[in-house]
Amino acid sequence: MFEENLEKLKDGFKQLPGIGEKTAERLAFYLISGDKQTALNLADLITNSINAIKRCEICNMLSENSPCFFCADENRVTNSICVVEKTQDVYLIEDTNEYKGRYFVLGNLISPIDGIGPKHINFQKLEKLVKQGNITEIILAINPSSTGETTIAFITSKLKKEELKITRLATGLPVGGDIEYTSSKTLASALKNRNKV
């Protein structure tokens, strides 16, 4: 429908989560019809961010530094690991001011339908961290979806031992909901009232 470059730009926006046909079209037209320098600055910001951000060698979180801020912070509790799916989940939990331990980012949840198995969730790295770090508690802060439940069951079965306390977020989170869309108050309540798996 549009000329080649505009069509490609629109299609590029459609690859982003939550961006449909009309929103992608609006964004594409906004960028090409506005101040060119603003659009070029945005392109530079995207390029610089992609080039600067890597995964933390310890917790797998996306960060400009490795180890990341949380792993490098000597004031954090070192015997507890909060396991999350994505880096943005770390910041959501931090906003509650209820947790002061360390984190581990899985990157994926187990989903056989999508071809995502245990080897795709960085479990070996998590297991090594638990064994080497004198960890006494694992908090599974994972969405209560079918893939989340599968992942929780897998991690629990592999790490369950008497001296390791494994908990999960309380059911203050709706089943099938996402941590990303949960209010800080609900998330704080879920952290406070987490249950043993």
Dump pLDDT digits (tens) for 59-108: 999 999 999 999 999 999 999 999 999 999 999 999 999 999 999 999 99
Domain positions in the chain are 4-52, 58-196
What's the whole-number mean pLDDT along residues 120-135? 88
What the block records as the tokens of 19 is 């961006």
Q: 195-196 and 165-168: which strand pairing? A: antiparallel
Q: Which residue has the tokens 């009309």?
A: 22
**C-alpha–C-alpha distance, residues 124 and 127, integer Å:** 5
Q: Is 0.85 surpassed by the pTM of this model?
A: no
**Do 4-52 and 58-196 fold alike per CATH?**
no
Under CATH, which architecture does the 58-196 domain have?
Answer: 3-Layer(aba) Sandwich (3.40)
- Tell me the fold of 4-52: Helicase, Ruva Protein; domain 3 (1.10.8)
